[in-house]
Amino acid sequence: MQARDVTVLERRPGSIARPDKVAADLLGPAGLGPGAHFDGWDITAWAHEGDHARIEMRHAAGLVERTILVRPHDAAFSAFLRTERWNVSYRGDGFDGDLARALQAIGDRLERVALDLGFDAADLQRRYYERPTKDEVLEVSPGRKLYVRVTEHCDEACLFCNATEGVSNVMPARSGVADVLRGMPVGSLAQIIFSGGEPTLVKGLPELVGLAYDRGARDIILQTNGVALAAPGALEAYLPYRDRLGIGFSLHAMEPGLSAAMIDHADIDRFPAKLRAIDKAIALGFRVKVTCVVMRPNLAQVPAFAQWCWDRWGLGLHRLQFSYAMPRGNAWLNQHLIARFSECTVAFAAAFELGRRTGLRIETSQSACIPPCVMPDYVDHYDLYGDYSGGKVTDPERVKPPDVCGGCKWDRICTGVWQRYLDVFGAGELHAITDRPDPGTVIDDYHEAEVLALDSCG
Ligand code: SF4
């Protein structure tokens, strides 16, 4: 099973992989950039490939095409030629004298440029090729969404919280999130999502949102339990960013007792505070989404909850999302509260039907969802943002069992099923979709692993 590649943003100045810098600092000055000619060879293209720069070239006379790989000198990598600073190798068959001379010429040229810059092999490795460690990268999620977790602390303890089992992109504000935001290539991202923990517990969050806004973030999302935003002036602090800021409130019940049970918090006054915050956010013109995570305690109320949201907020609500509780973190500790997919379908369908009647967008997330084959008549209520074709899954904990999913025409939109779910409930609720076409939803997505360097680096 192939988990999707993730894109990462590197956080540490001076680390890899910076293909643009390799091209500008090294290949170009060495006369090895695209369009360059040397010794009868034309450079047609180059690309970053894993730990190497890959140069494509064609012999002007014989139309022979060659692929050359270069990286800083490292005995751990095989190479045809090692200069003091570089490994130079080639890919493919047909080695001959022309190729040998070309490899030597490339090595000599790169050696001269590195020497002029005063870099030894270790410098080259550190500046251009060193892989960041896990703590030094930010993962960009499918759909080009970047989660910025400004704190791990939370003032609730939701029965289903999956952040308790480890999440990526924890970047406490005090550790320089502002610097990271300043260097972030925001134009390449579809969304920057401020999350946590509970992000509104961080003083100065409005300034961080403002920084993302000023840097040109196209869409900013604040995920919150909403309590802190009920305080006087709290929402007003975000008004300057309203045209590109959406607020996602988590709300899992329509009455205080059940709400308190879902968030495992004794203070039932949190519930009216959340409602006040949502009321006010809508009144102020923010784009508001309510997310309700569903487990056994609140499953039966899903249709009534949807109706209640409609009655209270109508189309003032941008969208209402029912998420299936992922079997990890607190939800996995509370396994007895995890509902089977098939237990949920009637309640979810009733809510979706309300959306069809009223025009309120009522949906489930592509990732935290009942697999689409379990509710095939409601695929238009899935918030699709990632392409999982080719049997990919969104993380290593999910699978698409070949004996069930083989030939499924909805492979592209399906993020896979949690192995833990299958271990407990089996795969009997799943069936490959063979009689319906792919829904054809256009997904603005990326397809390859890549590293996007922060602008501030180097
Ligand atoms: S059959 Fe498998 S791939 Fe198809 S929607 Fe269901 S879980 Fe996903």
What confidence score (pLDDT) does residue 86 get?
96
Going by pLDDT thresholds of 50, 70 and 90, the confidence category of residue 187 is confident
C-beta 374 within 6 A of ligand 1:
no
Could you tell me what percent of the chain has a pLDDT over 90?
61
pLDDT at 409 over 90: yes
Q: Report DSSP letters for 279-317, one per residue.
A: HHHHHTT-EEEEEEEE-HHHHTTHHHHHHHHHHHHGGGS
Nearest CA to ligand 1 atom 6: 373
With bands split at pLDDT 50, 70 and 90, how would you rate the model's confidence at 456? very low
Name the pLDDT band for 451 (thresholds 50, 70, 90).
low
Q: Which of 387, 417, 421, 436 to mutate to test the pocket of ligand 1 (most atoms within 8 A of CB)?
A: 417
Better pLDDT: 146 or 174: 146
Asked if the model's pLDDT at residue 76 lies above 90, the reply is no
- The average pLDDT across 386-411 equals 92
Please give the Cα distance from 137 to 170 (Å, whole number): 10
DSSP-derived letter for residue 126 is: I
**Closest approach atom of ligand 1 to CA 411:** 3
400: left (phi over 0), alpha (psi -120 to 50) or beta: beta
The CATH classification of domain 135-393+442-453, taken from the options 3.20.20.70, 3.40.390.10, 3.40.720.10, 3.40.220.10: 3.20.20.70
pLDDT of the residue at 457: 37
pTM listed for this prediction: 0.74
Percent of the chain with pLDDT over 70: 90
pLDDT at residue 437, as a whole number: 94
Contact 238, 222 (CB under 8 A): yes
All CATH 3.20.20.70 domain ranges in the chain, comma separated: 135-393+442-453
